[in-house]
Amino acid sequence: EEFARFCGTAHAVAVSNGTVALHLALVAAGVGPGDEVIVPALTFAATAAAVRHCHAIPVFADVESDSWNIDPDHIESLITPKTKAIIPVHLYGTPCRMDRIMEIAQRWGLIVIEDAAEAHGAEYQGSRVGSIGRMGCFSFYGNKIITTGEGGAITTNDAGLAVKLRTLRDHGMSPT
């Protein structure tokens, strides 16, 4: 509850690590075999690996030369009928251009899952990262800004998604 408040979201679901956060967010979003997910060409391997864990296909977008974050101007050229989601990574704590990414996602009906593993507390236009997309994924590994040695969290404002994420986290068992 405190982490959700910190991020400016209604819900935060604790998970075992940041990779699991990405994987469960993708599963909760309905990403599956044959779907495509746009990810930046420069990121930690876990971002693309989580897509592959869903038997989906990571599609690599160019990154901006100044921020090293996903280039929103390249995203749209990669969208196909199989594209289901975009995972912008707020690399090294620098927020992506989320206004442009959200505009593209809305126009094409895509889900945005923020990889905020390295960006706890970073803000973009007055909003904390992890609160802008449909879900935000965080890592609490030992080299992160907030650490528990290991661990992760998924943030969302969608109560239904929060229940689904908790159920997935707990081997399909109802939280009640």
For residue range 52-99, what is the model confidence (pLDDT) as tens digits? Answer: 999 999 999 999 999 999 999 999 999 999 999 999 999 999 999 999
Least confident of 36-45, 107-116, 144-153: 144-153
Is the pLDDT reported for residue 24 higher than 80?
yes
Known catalytic residues are 144
pLDDT at 145: 79
Q: What is the mean pLDDT of residues 109-116?
A: 98
Backbone angles phi, psi at 65, to 5 degrees: -70, -25
Confidence grade of residue 142 (pLDDT, cut at 50, 70, 90) = low
Confidence grade of residue 172 (pLDDT, cut at 50, 70, 90) = confident
141 or 115, greater pLDDT: 115
**CB crowding 132-157: b at 16 or more within 10 Å, else e:** bbbbbbbbbbeebeeeeeebbbbbbb
The torsion region of residue 68 among left (phi > 0), alpha (psi -120 to 50) and beta comes to left
